[in-house]
Amino acid sequence: MELINAAILLFVVMDPMGNVPIFLSVLDKVAPERRYRVLVREMLIALVILFGFLLAGQYVLAFLGLEQASISVAGGIILFLIAMKMIFPVPRVLRDDEEDEHDEPFLVPLAVPLIAGPSAMAVLLLFVTKEPERLGTWSLALIAAWLASALILLAAPQLKRLLGQRGLIATERLMGMLLVAIAVQMLLDGTAQFLGDNL
């Protein structure tokens, strides 16, 4: 059950449905015969980054002297802000200060921050600091969420034709509503733990 819950949470914060239009826009500059290859490469880079964060994040926190309660509250705040953007979206514009001389994206913006974003990193950090002995469970959850996201993004052109722009927006807002509830629970858990430890 923990594995399923963790995988669902990671899938929601990765927000593949909300990223479909951005991925299509970025990959539109790439030669058609290379689009799937580029997408797979960026997804793999994102997975490596997220695994690195999962494995090393707890040591960074220990070095900084941060407690689990603070991570839970901070993660809840980040997820809440992400959820608000999903429910009340602002125009998503990819801003570049300079024209990139390369048409093919590398690392930014597809791998980071669209897939391996701060919200996904915060969730992984929360998992591994709360129950570090279940690293295998969190690793499987990450792989499951990443695989589901990869399948959706690989099918992005077909999904856009099937659901349309309105369908994609509606799906993203529904996921945002779910994320609000998760964020509030994380905030309450972190606050309760802090009060319990200090009262």
Query: How far apart are alpha carbons 66 and 58 in whole angstroms?
Result: 10
Q: Flag whether 101 is in a domain.
A: no
The per-residue pLDDT for 149 is 96
Has residue 33 got a pLDDT over 80?
A: yes
Q: Flag whether 70 is in a domain.
A: yes
Residue 91's pLDDT band, with cuts at 50, 70 and 90, is low
Q: Which residue has the higher pLDDT, 57 or 158?
A: 158
The per-residue pLDDT for 96 is 45
DSSP bridge pairs for 106: 108
Percent of the chain with pLDDT over 90: 31
Mean pLDDT value across the chain? 85
pTM for the whole structure: 0.80
Q: Flag whether 99 is in a domain.
A: no
Tally the domains of the chain.
1
Q: Flag whether 165 is in a domain.
A: yes
Residue 145's pLDDT band, with cuts at 50, 70 and 90, is very high
Has residue 74 got a pLDDT over 70?
A: yes
Torsion over CA: 154, 155, 159, 161 (sign): positive
Quote the longest CA-to-CA distance of the chain. 62
What is the extent of the structural domain holding 52?
Answer: 2-90+107-193
Averaged pLDDT for residues 71-93: 79
Out of 1-5, 61-65, 109-113, 183-187, pick the least confident. Answer: 61-65
Q: Flag whether 95 is in a domain.
A: no
The per-residue pLDDT for 101 is 47
Query: How far apart are alpha carbons 63 and 58 in whole angstroms?
Result: 9
Q: Are 83 and 186 in contact (CB under 8 A)?
A: no
Cβ-count burial 110-147 (b if 16+ within 10 Å, e if not): bbbebbbbebbbbbbbbbbbeeeebeeebbebbebbbe
Residue 61's pLDDT band, with cuts at 50, 70 and 90, is confident
The per-residue pLDDT for 102 is 52
Q: Flag whether 179 is in a domain.
A: yes
The per-residue pLDDT for 85 is 83
The per-residue pLDDT for 103 is 64
